Amino acid sequence: MRPVLEAQDIARVLTRIAHEIVERAKGADDVVLLGIPTRGVFLARRLAAKLAEITGTKIPVGSLDITMYRDDLRMKPARAIGRTEIPGDDIDGRLVVLVDDVLFSGRTIRAALDALGDLGRPRAVQLAVLVDRGHRELPIRADYVGKNLPTSLREIVKVQLQEEDGRDAVLLGQRTDAEAGQ
């Protein structure tokens, strides 16, 4: 696998996305960041820290587990249910920015929208992703993209983050025949 983004690139991308959020939201007073486990949660926390640096305001950050909202539950082995943590002020009437590492088919984000609908009624929902690799199966697009990375279906994108993997990197490689059959 070859690196597409290194640690300094990821830091730069998150700074840019934070500035874009502030510009588009005209501040960050009603912004709530919800990361999609696993790596989306770490990215959301990093974005919250960047937003706090820019605005001087603490940004509420939480996590949104989508396990039970996935449309592939019956096709894949059982998964452990993760945690959903909604910041104290709730999401009603707020601008919720969903944060994930890779946008691919759009099915994860569809599941996140379904889960979010059961938790409250945000004023608006936006999406921030570290990598958009294309191949959408649903009409979903990200509002904030770290890197557009056109890929073939035979390629795999792997995001590594310090908190989970011990290093920051986005790697691109070829899918093995075993992975292609999954």
When computed from its CA atoms, the radius of gyration of the chain, rounded to whole angstroms, is 16
Residue identified by tokens 């690196």 is 3
| Burial (0-12, 13-18, 19+ Cβ within 10 Å), 43 | buried
Taking the CA atoms of residue 31, residue 36, residue 41 and residue 42 in that order, the dihedral angle to the nearest 10 degrees is: -120
- Percent of the residues in the chain that have a pLDDT greater than 90, as a whole number: 82
User: For 2-72+82-180, which CATH class?
Assistant: alpha beta
For residue range 92-107, what is the model confidence (pLDDT) as tens digits? 999 999 999 999 999 9
- Delimit the domains of the chain by residue range: 2-72+82-180
pLDDT digits (tens, 9 = 90+) for 28-83: 999 999 999 999 999 999 999 999 999 999 999 999 999 989 887 666 666 667 77
Alpha carbon distance 75, 96 (integer Å): 30
Q: What global pTM score does this model have?
A: 0.93
pLDDT exceeds 50 at position 91: yes
